[in-house]
A and B are shown apart, each in its own frame.
Chain A
Amino acid sequence: MAPKKSTAPPTPGPSASTAKDLRVLTVNLYNWCRVNYDEEHILSQQDLLAGDVIPNKDPNLLLAATQSLINDRLFRTHDLRSGGIGWKIVSHVSAQKYKDLSSDESLVYSVIESLGRAGAWVKTIKGKLNLHQKNVDQSIKTLLQRGYIKSMSTVKFPQRKMYILAGLQPGEDATGGAWFTDGVLDHELLEELARTLERRISDLSWNQITHPAAESTGLKLGVSQKRKSPDDGFDSTIKDKGKVRRMDTDNAGDELPSSSNAHADVQHRPTSKNQHVSGTLLEKIYVPYPAGYSKYPTLKYLTDFVNDNKIIQSGKITENNISQLLEVMVYDDKITKIKATPDGSAPTMYKARKNPTQIVADWDLAERLRDTTRANDGAMKVARERELRKLGTGGMTEIPCGRCPVFDMCEVGGPVNPGNCEYFEEWFLKIESTQIDQEESLVW
């Protein structure tokens, strides 16, 4: 370790032990750190000694130097992840702030600062410092007045009093991420985005066959492929379609205007357009892609899709957020996950549960349902239709007992019994009306 003396910065040499020498040493150490590390880095003892600022790598000297820096608020101690103690550098500006503060205040400030964008809860501050509530409150008040800190709120604990450095924005944990607007979960945004995504995934999950025979015979529903002859070139159609699909995905840019328009339609004027949309879509037949198909959309594709099409006004959205939403959509049984490879090395793909025809039909229905609820007429009709559509309707959901508030009490001979039950009367009337409805209009 011979060269250390020669390369050492202008220090008084190894014997430096006077107060003045220490002063110089500390300044040198601080400057060296500022040059070599940024403020976020946690410096370990090795880091500090590596700079050859400390003569002989003398730990005692280092200790004295760091201590004096800490006293000057230019260093802050930190726990190292590997255990032991580390340091962070503090800028002169921040250090200056501390200088103006009383000891309590500076303690409080340091806690708030150390918690960064997560924000500090009053109770945490109190707990960490073991100060009296009054002192903490007083300090916070001063700090607020001086504009050093500001209050914030977090989604997870809306009631908590939280503080953060004035210059920082609350972190994603606190704001709840992209799904929160002003700390409130943005339901509309979620629903809308889920719909858009479902539609997009569905477009990419089903092989669309425009079968000339189907069109000429005027096949009415996408699902009824009965008349499809078994050898209608399933494979060849797929190959062709595959190419088209690949073009689609490759030239996603070309598609952008149309798809974002479609989205706009859905968003702003869903009713007027849907009738038309379903009218054209009904001509198409969707069949599942063969097993092993690997071009279902992935998380990355969908995130890009959302961002490129500027579907969210408030700017970019991260993959994390989209994955959160996709996860929810899986639970809503709108989409399913598909593993591209059994060992999970390739990214998970998403496949829509319903084909576009079904989705549009569903929206249509929901739309009508909403309309009619408002008019409060024929709502039953739509509800009934929806009920009938669903696979395996019935049992428990229709009959009054299934949703009876006094179900547990109801007993023959008891105060509430099937004989005096009024729900049944209501129910009889209700079916009567739906049955008439149904006979009237099966064509929509």
Chain B
Amino acid sequence: MSKSLAELCSLLIEDNYGEFYAHIFATLLSHGRLLALQLALKCHLPLRQIQHGLAVLVQAGLVFHHTTSEGRTSYEANPRNAYDLVRPGRTLELVQKRFGRAASAIVTQLLLLGHAPVGQLKTVNRTANESTTVQDHDIENDRANSTSIVGSPAEDRPDVEIDNALRELCTHGLICRVREAHFRTEADTRQLVEEKVHNSFRSTAKGTKLKEEFAEKVEEAIEKEVDICINFRKSGPENMIPQKRKLDDADNIPNPKRPKLSNGVATNEGFDPTYFVGDDTNFLNDSLVVRLNYARIAVLFRNSRLVSLVTAIYGKSFSRTYEAILHQLEPDLPDPKENISLGPEQERSPGTTSEVDEALLAQDLAHHETYKEHSGSPWRRVNGYVNGIKHQLTPEARSHLEVLCQEPYRFLSRSLEYPDRYVVEYSPLSIHLRNAEIFRIIFARFDKYAVRIIRVLLDKGKLDEKHLQETVLMSAKELRQILAMLQQAGYLELQEVPREAQRQPSRTIYLWFYDPDRVRKMLIENTYKCMARCFQRMKVERDKIRSTIEKSERSDVKGKEEKLLARAELEVLKGWRRKEEWLLGEVGRLDELIFVLRDF
């Protein structure tokens, strides 16, 4: 865990919850796991306060806790969730754009509460919703909402809109269930599970076989402990969760997520996990506790990035088709790997591809206009049939698909097994997006020649200066200057290959190379640091005019600033608000960078 990230996380908590909590969090972060008493000592604060603080942080999911069998509870910081504090704005924006107002109201609620039982979401929501509808009347999805939400009387009859939105958010994995295990670190969970499995484990196998079997059992149990999927399949006939992939024998297609979806609870091994909420056989049971799944936000964001890339390359009509495809795939995508700590980049599982069916797509496109406006119900897209008519792709749409399949971008590929299905291979596309982002940064910092050099090296591997010069068509002097700059900034590296044992400089080959993963990590680190600087600067700006801000926040002044404050003071306040806005805007863009570089 890097210093910049730690700094940033504490700043984020300070920004959201206040200095006191940030202090506790930072202490936990720097010391690792602590008991409450130890923490109190380190923080020089009374235990009671610490306990109160920890309770809030645990509730917000920012601190893990774990109670041993002896009853001692220790705490550990959760930087992953802390970082997500930077994302509520983006989350709301994406959700609103994609799923409409009702969904965004639900998400707002979840953002406020951290996690909440479904029942609460269903009721609280409505009021939140109504208050917002009036204000943002101009947002694009308005039409659908204004009729249903504003028009609906605020009685106690179940709100269809909200219900549908909830379902849709669940289908897309944006809302996931909270289990007890989510409040523990992975290691703790593993230990607990191992103990339990050990107690109940019976097997006739021996030696390595025994070990394997045991490990398998443990993995299985852990899966179950941390499983975030909400089970739909048992919710009765009114359940309209897309059965689309059943079109043909889709269930035979290996998909890492499917087993969980189809038989989440129906496992009866000798081990009964205590669920955070006992019974989840009922779809969206009111008592089911859910939270927002930030990992899915990355999926939404990646899709929106891909769509804009297609728009830039092929034009709007193509991106419309592509958007429809991506939206179809969304629910079935596994979560992108969460690796905040920048370990070696993991091999992406083949599960990052899903297939989309032509017939379904045709239908989506046919419904596109209405589809755009829909706010909560994707359920009409079942099996690619609408009113019993199987849809065919229009020739235009088909030719769009073929263009999208083209090199070098390959936004789509044809499925190998089924001729009428298409596959989106996410990982090469993610890499493309990532590289494009890095090139953009290099272009902005240096010039187009620097980008050219990097791209040549990325393509050809290690090159010595002579060859490089021939390929990039630059004069030796300029080339050397740019190479030196790039090397100094950490984008390029130089390898020495001595031709003889003496390692004479004159008898040594120097090879330039570009290591994308290293550069990616460096950029992520720098981005964390930049974000931290933005927050720090905000603090500085705030401190500068502290007295004025305090005055404006006095209860007797608040709301009547115009009347009660001097002109100069108002100016100062305005200027500060603007600066704050810029800085926050910048933070948002830096976060985009993190999305692209880390989460895609």
Interface residues of A (CB under 8 A from B): 155-156, 158, 179, 184-185, 187, 190, 223-226, 228, 230-231, 234-235, 286-292, 324-325, 327-328, 331-333, 336-339, 353, 390-399, 401-403, 407, 410, 412, 417-419, 421, 424, 428, 431-432
Tell me which of B406, B407, B451, B529 contacts A401 (CB under 8 A). Answer: B529
Point out the residues of chain B lying under 8 angstroms from A431, CB to CB: 582
User: Quick one: which of B317, B452, B470, B530 contacts A399, CB cutoff 8 A?
Assistant: B530
Return the chain A residue nearest B469 by Cβ. A156
Which among B444, B456, B466, B469 has the greatest number of chain A C-beta atoms within 10 A? B444
Tell me the smallest distance from the CB of B417 to a CB of chain A, in Å. 19
Contact A224 B445 (CB under 8 A): no
Pair B448/A332 contact, Cβ less than 8 Å: yes
- With beta carbons under 8 angstroms apart, the residue of A231, A292, A401, A407 that contacts B396 is A231
CB distance from A299 to the nearest CB of B (A): 16
Does B13 sit within 8 A of A, measured CB to CB?
A: no
Q: Is the CB of A231 within 8 A of B315?
A: no
Report whether B593 and A339 are in contact in the complex, using a CB–CB cutoff of 8 Å.
no
**Do B305 and A392 touch across chains, with their CB atoms under 8 A apart?**
yes
Q: How far is the CA of A231 from the CA of B396 in the complex (A)?
A: 7
Q: Which of B309, B312, B445 contacts A402 (CB 8 A)?
A: B445
CB distance from B307 to the nearest CB of A (A): 11
Residues on A with beta carbons closer than 8 Å to the beta carbon of B313: 353
Within 8 A of A (CB), among B461-483: 466, 469-476
Q: What's the minimum C-beta distance from B165 to chain A, rounded to whole angstroms?
A: 27
Q: Is the interface of B mostly helix, strand, loop or mixed?
A: helix
- B318 on the A face (CB < 8 A): yes
Give the distance in Å from the alpha carbon of A395 to the alpha carbon of B591 in the complex. Answer: 8
Interface residues of B in 522-545 (CB under 8 A from A): 523, 526-527, 529-530, 533-534, 536-537, 540
Residues 583-600 of B, flagged 1 when their CB comes within 8 A of A and 0 if not, give 000100110110010000
Known: A223-B315, A424-B537, A431-B582. A390 touches B440 (CB 8 A): yes
Q: Which residue on A lies nearest to B473, using beta carbons?
A: A328
The answer to whether A403 touches B445 (Cβ under 8 A) is: yes
The interface residues of chain A lying within 8 Å CB-to-CB of B311 are 223
Q: Is B207 an interface residue (CB 8 A)?
A: no
Contact of A419 among B317, B474, B536 (CB under 8 A): B536
Which of B394, B408, B589 contacts A395 (CB under 8 A)? Answer: B589
Determine the chain B residues whose CB is within 8 A of the CB of A337 once the complex forms: 407-408
A396 touches B441 (CB 8 A): yes
Do A235 and B395 touch (CB < 8 A)? yes
List of A residues within 8 angstroms of B406 by Cβ: 291, 338
Contact in complex: B316, A224 (CB < 8 Å): yes
Q: Identify which of residues 3-51 in chain B touch chain A, using a CB-to-CB cut-off of 8 Å.
A: 7
Per the bound structure, the CA–CA distance linking A419 and B544 in Å amounts to 10
Q: With A331-B459, A396-B527 known to touch, is A230 a contact of B396 (CB < 8 Å)?
A: yes
Give per-residue flags for B219-261: 1 if the beta carbon is below 8 A from chain A beta carbons, else 0.
Answer: 0000000000000000000000000000000000000000000
* Known A292-B402, A396-B527: A225·B589 in contact at CB below 8 Å: no
Report yes or no: A336 in contact with B315, Cβ–Cβ below 8 A.
Answer: no
Q: A224 vs B320: C-alpha distance in the bound complex, in angstroms?
A: 12
State A332–B439 Cα separation when bound (angstroms).
10
Q: Let me know if B396 and A328 touch, CB within 8 A.
A: no
Decide: A418 and B474 in contact? CB cutoff 8 A: no
Question: Given that A331-B459, A339-B407 are known contacts, is A401 also in contact with B533, CB under 8 Å in the complex?
Answer: yes
Residues of A within 8 A of B534 (CB): 399, 401
Instruction: Show 24 residue pairs from A and B whose CB-CB distance is below 8 angstroms, ordered by the A residue.
Output: A230-B394, A234-B396, A288-B315, A290-B402, A290-B403, A292-B402, A391-B308, A392-B305, A392-B308, A393-B589, A395-B527, A396-B444, A396-B590, A399-B534, A399-B586, A401-B533, A402-B530, A407-B529, A412-B7, A417-B536, A418-B536, A419-B536, A419-B537, A428-B582
CB distance from A233 to the nearest CB of B (A): 9
A190 CA / B452 CA spacing, docked (Å): 14
Q: A156-B466, A179-B473, A228-B317 are in contact. List 7 more A-B contacts (CB 8 A).
A: A230-B317, A290-B403, A291-B403, A325-B473, A391-B308, A397-B441, A407-B526
Q: With contacts defined as CB atoms under 8 Å apart, how many contacts are there between chain A and chain B in the complex?
A: 154
Known contacts: A401-B530, A418-B540, A421-B537. The answer to whether A392 contacts B440 by CB under 8 A is yes
Q: How far is the CA of A353 from the CA of B406 in the complex (A)?
A: 13
Interface centre among B523, B529, B533, B589 (most CB of A within 10 A): B533
B531 CB → nearest A CB, Å: 9
Interface residues of B (CB under 8 A from A): 7, 305, 308-309, 311-318, 394-397, 399, 402-403, 405-408, 436-437, 439-441, 444-445, 448, 451-452, 455-456, 459, 466, 469-476, 523, 526-527, 529-530, 533-534, 536-537, 540, 578-579, 582, 586, 589-590, 592-593, 596
- Partner of B399 from A179, A184, A290, A421 at Cβ < 8 Å: A290
* Chain B residues closer than 8 Å to A224, beta-carbon distance: 316
Q: Note all chain A residues with C-beta closer than 8 A to B590.
A: 394-396, 399
**Contacts A407-B526, A418-B540; is A328 near B407 (CB within 8 Å)?**
no
Given contacts A179-B473, A331-B472, A392-B592, are A234 and B315 in contact (CB under 8 A)?
Answer: no
Considering the complex of A and B, which 6 residue pairs feature the smallest CB-CB distances, nearest first?
Answer: A394-B589, A397-B444, A291-B402, A395-B593, A418-B536, A395-B589
Contacts of A410 in B (CB 8 A): 533
- With a CB–CB cut-off of 8 A, which chain A residues contact B526? 396, 401-402, 407
- Residues in A whose Cβ lies below 8 Å from that of B533: 399, 401, 410, 418, 421
Q: Is the CB of B317 within 8 A of A324?
A: no
Measured CA separation A250–B497 after assembly (Å): 53
Report B90 CB to chain A, min CB distance, Å. Answer: 12
B399 A234 Cβ-Cβ under 8 A: yes
- CB–CB B540/A190 < 8 A: no
The answer to whether B305 touches A234 (Cβ under 8 A) is no
> How many angstroms from the CA of A9 to the CA of B514 in the assembled complex?
68
A417 surroundings in chain B (CB, below 8 A) = 536
Report the minimal beta-carbon distance from A185 to chain B, rounded to whole angstroms: 4
Alpha-carbon gap, A339 to B526, bound state (A) = 39
> Could you tell me if A428 and B529 are in contact, using CB atoms closer than 8 angstroms?
no
Contact A418 B537 (CB under 8 A): yes
Residues of A close to B318: CB separation below 8 A: 288
How far apart are A282's CB and chain B's nearest CB, in angstroms?
A: 15
The residues of A that contact B530 with a CB separation of less than 8 Å are 396, 399, 401-402
Q: Which of A231, A395, A399 meets B592, CB within 8 Å?
A: A395
Query: CA separation between A338 and B410, bound complex, in Å?
Result: 12
Contact A184 B475 (CB under 8 A): yes
Contacts of B7 in A (CB 8 A): 412
Given contacts A234-B399, A327-B471, A331-B459, contact A391 B309 (CB under 8 A): yes
Q: Tell me, in angstroms, the Cα distance from A228 to B459 when the chains sit together.
A: 39
What residues on B are CB-neighbors of A184 within 8 Å?
Answer: 475
Docked pose: A292 CA to B470 CA in angstroms: 33
A103 to B316, CA, bound (A): 77
Which residues of chain A are near B578, meaning CB under 8 Å? Answer: 432
Chain A residues within 8 Å of B455, by CB: 331-333
Q: Contact check: which of A287, A292, A391, A432 meets B312 at CB < 8 Å?
A: A391
Pair A234/B395 contact, Cβ less than 8 Å: yes
B266 to chain A, nearest CB (A): 45
Q: Are B405 and A225 neighbours in the complex by a CB distance under 8 Å?
A: no
* Residue of B305, B455, B537 most packed against chain A (CB within 10 A): B537
Q: Using CB atoms, name the residue of chain A closest to B585.
A: A394
Shortest Cβ distance from B305 into A: residue:
A392
In the complex the two chains form, what is the Cα distance from A439 to B456 in whole Å? 40
Q: Is the CB of B317 within 8 A of A396?
A: no
**A398 contact from B407, B456, B474, B589, Cβ within 8 A:** B589
CB-nearest residue of chain B relative to A393? B589
